[in-house]
Amino acid sequence: MIRRGIIIPALATGILMSVVSCSPFMLRQYFPGTKDTTTVRVLILKTGNRFTVSSGADIVISGANTDIKRSFHGSTAEFTPASISKRIVVKSANRPLCLNGKPYRGIFELHNKNGIAFIINIIKIDEYLLGVVPCEIPSGWDMEALKAQAVAARTYAYYHLMTKAKKGTLYDLDATTNSQVYRGISDEKDRTTEAVVATSGEIISYNSMPILSYFHSTCGGKTIDDKYVWPRNNLKYLKGISCGFCEESTKYKWKSKLSLEEIHDCLSKKNANVGKIKNIRFKRKNDRVTDVVVRHTGGIITISGNNFRLLFPPEKMRSLYFTSKKIDRSIVLDGHGWGHGVGMCQWGARGMALRGYKYRDIITHYYSGVKISDIRTISLVHKMKD
């Protein structure tokens, strides 16, 4: 499909150009930047379909099939996976780049992996956080909670940046809940931007390295050791603690009901040979489910609690902190909290902030034995260890 416009002869590679620019998000486009110039590679789209990249300013496309380097004013470039036989870099001068009309800071890098296009946003880490923090926590919350979230999100990014750099992976993070939710400029908010700027360069460290700073919505009264959620983990700074600050969360307590038929259907997506379910047994540690044993007509399935939770829509099983009762062919759950329960409880961070605690207090409450460090000193230590 060719949109209104023309095919540029120099782009006889399947890339189409037309004079259509993305909406200008001028109110939040300007950002003076911070001293942290480290960049992070974020996968923002993976698709087998046609997609567009546009800007209200010049677009410079380089590294395409014919090693072109051309500039086009106020244009939209259309791509298909087939048009990307080599790495392509797309830049714009002093204006956001838009992917399918959605604006982002930084530049784009395009790759084709087995017929699937990978669109990676290469961006300075604090600019990345401008689009992460408001997606992970309400911007109207107390500033100290926003700062705690900004530091946790920055730390999470640096942890993956440093660990994945050694593996030569295509990107460091993706833009979904698989990493941290990131939606670019359109979701930026003034107060979360203030929190990012106020904490720039600060990360949470343990033994002079960034931690794997997990966080979740609501712990329901207490968090849990990471090893009980992800059996291969056993990080000393991710220990279960008594929270005491998240009672105001709308997910602090919840009830749900799952029929055995629902459980069977969800299990069948991962286990094709599931028979009729006879009974289910929940194994627990510190009141949270760690393993689930399902007896069915075809045998026994044992699955980790977290993998079991993720089989269902969030409103059906908001956490693994629940008691259960079998009624007829259904299981009634009486639960607490929302999320995996490891690391910082976001509603708890809000509660602490409202009680006068500062963001450093919040962080050291939820992560055991950690420090708030300047990333420049961490980077130096990291290089020395390498």
CA dist., res. 289 & res. 383, Å (int):
40
CA dist., res. 183 & res. 175, Å (int):
7
Cα diameter, the chain: 69
Average pLDDT, the chain: 88
**Tokens at 284, concatenated:** 């627990």
CA dist., res. 381 & res. 373, Å (int):
12
Q: What letters, b where the CB count within 10 A reaches 16 and e where it falls short, cover 27-48?
A: ebeebeebebebbbbbbbbeee
Q: What letters, b where the CB count within 10 A reaches 16 and e where it falls short, cover 158-177?
A: bbbbbebeeeeeebbbbbee
* CB-based burial label for 214 (10 Å; 0-12, 13-18, 19+): buried
pLDDT at 166 over 60: no
Confidence category of residue 9, pLDDT binned at 50, 70, 90: very low
Residue 329 sits at the vertex; the CA angle it makes with 272 and 250, to the nearest 5 degrees, is 90
CA dist., res. 45 & res. 51, Å (int):
10
pLDDT at 386 over 70: no
* CB-based burial label for 300 (10 Å; 0-12, 13-18, 19+): exposed
Confidence category of residue 381, pLDDT binned at 50, 70, 90: low
Confidence category of residue 6, pLDDT binned at 50, 70, 90: very low
pLDDT at 376 over 70: yes
pTM of full prediction above 0.75: yes
Confidence category of residue 16, pLDDT binned at 50, 70, 90: low
CA dist., res. 369 & res. 339, Å (int):
23
Confidence category of residue 3, pLDDT binned at 50, 70, 90: very low
Q: Residue range 350-369: average pLDDT?
A: 98
Confidence category of residue 160, pLDDT binned at 50, 70, 90: very high
